Amino acid sequence: MSLSVPVTGTAQEPVLAPELQDAAADIYLFDAATLRLVDANAGARLGGIDPARLAEMTLFELAPELEQATLDALLAQLGHAPGAQATLRTRYLRAGGTYPVKLVFLRIVRDGRALLLAVADDLALALEISVALEQYQAGFDAVVDHTPGLVYQFLRQADGTVAFPYLSEGCAALLGLAGAELQAAPQRFLELVLPEDRGDYLDAMDASQAGLSAWNWEGRIWIDAWKDVKWINLRATPFPLEDGGVRWDGIMTNITASKLEQEEIRDSRARLAELTDHIEQVKEQERARIAREIHDDLGGNLTAIKMALAMLAARLPADPVLAEKAQYVDDLVDRTIDAVHRISLDLRPPMLDLGIVAALDWQAREFEKRMGIACVFTSSDREVALAPSEATALFRIFQEALTNIAKHAHATRVTVDLRREGRHLVLAICDNGRGIAASDRAKPQSFGLRGMSERARALGGTLDLAPAPGGGTMVTVRIRPSAPAAAGQPSTTEA
């Protein structure tokens, strides 16, 4: 920097020009030979030092930490040409202590007298800011270094080039790469992502950049250093750049352990569901076998007993007591036949052999006769092709729903609708009762609802509970049959 400094006054005692007297910086004029202070501006005099004392001071007294060797080197660098300048940092005297300054020295000549002009810039505030920044940076580094994972900045320019401006110390532990390696070749991160997960990774990045929304992604990376696959979770916040690019600040964490636990739990649930489904199928097969044996063996035997009893009663003498006893036994056989028939129906309704539509229609009629609650069943098709296990499971869900309505709903009307929606088959059961509260679903003993839900899940479907229009509860079962549903004519039955 070149500075022309006007100096006024007598040849014996030169003083600073008026425009320098009012300058904000401290400005001092020294004799180049003796380094004695010749003049100082108002800012310097207001530093708290007595003016009389200030007039007798030298440069070394004003800068007590300045060494002779340092000044000699500076003056040698400065040379002797007027207007030459040099800079050093030291501490300057002020009432009550010293303060850090940057001194800019310039050589000037006045009436043949060599002078040094020193401009002092106060560095105290800058040093305080620097110390505060260092403390903040140290605290930030400590937090980052103790954060489980990799704290990073990721940059994607408008032309598609990428960079990692910042990578924490966790880079090597998470990715098996030193931070400097990844910063030198930022495209290596994408190469770490397994090929089958790269599309999802790039799609998530594009969506975050387009909408400036949070970038959340989970995927697998290959760690060549350990010949292993890791699951990582990436969460970052985007910040747009002026050139059209985006910078993300975020963190990556290793979620391999939790992912393996989730997979183990998922596999365990799948195995449990398979076992539950197998048990249900075995149970239904056993029910069907027992129902057939009860119907064929007990039913046949009871029919034979009734016929034999009728023959015996015809040969009894005309005795009122014997006739009464015979009638009692005949009534007992009739009640037993009815019980056998009812038990057989409960175990395995033969209407299931006629298809799910016929079975649901029959069950709706039976429910109305037994409970006195109006039940309307409608179906979009006369026949629906279902595997036997699917038809049985759907029928059992329907039975359980009607049982819950009879026990808890206090309903006077039930509507049942079986329809197709695309490739799905939907069974909707709606009552006009008191409805079901969320607390009812969470009861420990709600095995009926759990059983219905598990049966639907075993079919690869869903079961939803919702308030019915106008009050009550609607149970909706949605499954995707293994066989396509057969087309038919709408059927409506009021039981």
Token pair in block for residue 160: 């598609």
Q: What is the DSSP string of 230-288?
A: EEEEEEEEEEE-TTS-EEEEEEEEE-HHHHHHHHHHHHHHHHHHHHHHHHHHHHHHHHH
The secondary structure of the chain in percent helix, strand, coil, rounded to multiples of 5, reads: 45, 30, 25
User: Is the per-residue pLDDT at 441 higher than 70?
Assistant: no
pLDDT in tens, 349-406: 788 888 999 999 999 999 999 899 999 999 988 888 898 888 988 998 999 999 999 9
Phi and psi, residue 189, nearest 5°: -65, -45
Q: Does domain 147-254 have CATH number 3.40.30.10?
A: no
- pLDDT for res 49: 67
pLDDT at position 144 is: 62
Taking each continuous run of H as one helix and of E as one strand, the counts in the chain are: 17, 18
C-alpha 335: how far from chain center: 63
Lowest-pLDDT range, 97-101, 102-106, 261-265? Answer: 97-101
The predicted model gives 255-280 an average pLDDT of 84
Helix axes 388-404, 256-293, angle to 10 degrees: 90
Q: Please give the CATH number for the structural domain made up of 353-494.
A: 3.30.565.10
Q: d(Cα 168, Cα 477) in Å, to the nearest integer?
A: 51
**Burial category of 386 from C-beta neighbours within 10 Å (exposed 0-12, middle 13-18, buried 19 and up):** buried
* Fold of domain 7-128: Beta-Lactamase (3.30.450)
What pLDDT does residue 143 have?
Answer: 64
More confident residue, 318 or 394: 394
What is the C-alpha to C-alpha distance for residues 396 and 390, in angstroms, rounded to an integer?
10
CB 215 within 8 A of CB 204: yes
Rounded to 10°, the helix 388-404/447-458 angle is 160
- Report pLDDT for 9: 43
Question: Using 50, 70 and 90 to split pLDDT, how confident is the model at 305?
Answer: confident
pLDDT band at 44 (very low <50, low <70, confident <90, very high): low
Q: How far apart are CA 274 and CA 282, in angstroms?
A: 12
Compute the mean pLDDT over every residue in the chain, rounded to the nearest whole number: 84
Q: What is the mean pLDDT of residues 236-243?
A: 93
What pLDDT does 489 receive? 40
Residue 189, Cα to own-chain centre: how many angstroms? 22
Q: How far is residue 298's CA from residue 337's CA, in Å, rounded to a whole number? A: 8
* 64: pLDDT strictly greater than 80: yes
Closest CA to 12 of 114, 82, 111, 118: 111
Q: How far apart are the first and last CA of the chain?
A: 104
Judged by average pLDDT, the poorest of 105-109, 122-126, 261-265, 310-314 is: 122-126
Q: Which residues contact 38 (CB under 8 A, 6 or more apart)?
A: 13, 14, 15, 29, 30, 31, 115
Confidence of residue 208 (pLDDT cuts 50, 70, 90): very high
Cα 447 to Cα 259: distance, rounded to the nearest angstrom = 30
- Amino acid 85: pLDDT: 87
Q: What is the mean pLDDT of residues 2-20?
A: 57
Residue 147 has pLDDT above 80, yes or no: no
Residue 113, classified by CB atoms within 10 Å of its CB into exposed (0-12), middle (13-18) or buried (19+), is: middle
Structural tokens at position 369: 């006769």
Give residue limits of the domains in the chain.
7-128, 147-254, 265-347, 353-494
pLDDT given at position 249: 94
DSSP state letters, 147-203: SSSEEEEEEE-TTS-EEEEEE-TTHHHHHSS-HHHHHHSTTHHHHHB-HHHHHHHHH
Residue labelled with tokens 């750049």 = 241
- Of 208, 213, 207, 215, give the one whose Cα is nearest residue 233: 215
pLDDT at 140: 66
Same fold, 147-254 and 353-494: no
CA distance 439 to 405: 17
Q: Which residue has the higher pLDDT, 182 or 437?
A: 182
**Mean pLDDT, rounded, for 456-480:** 89
pLDDT for 491 equals 42
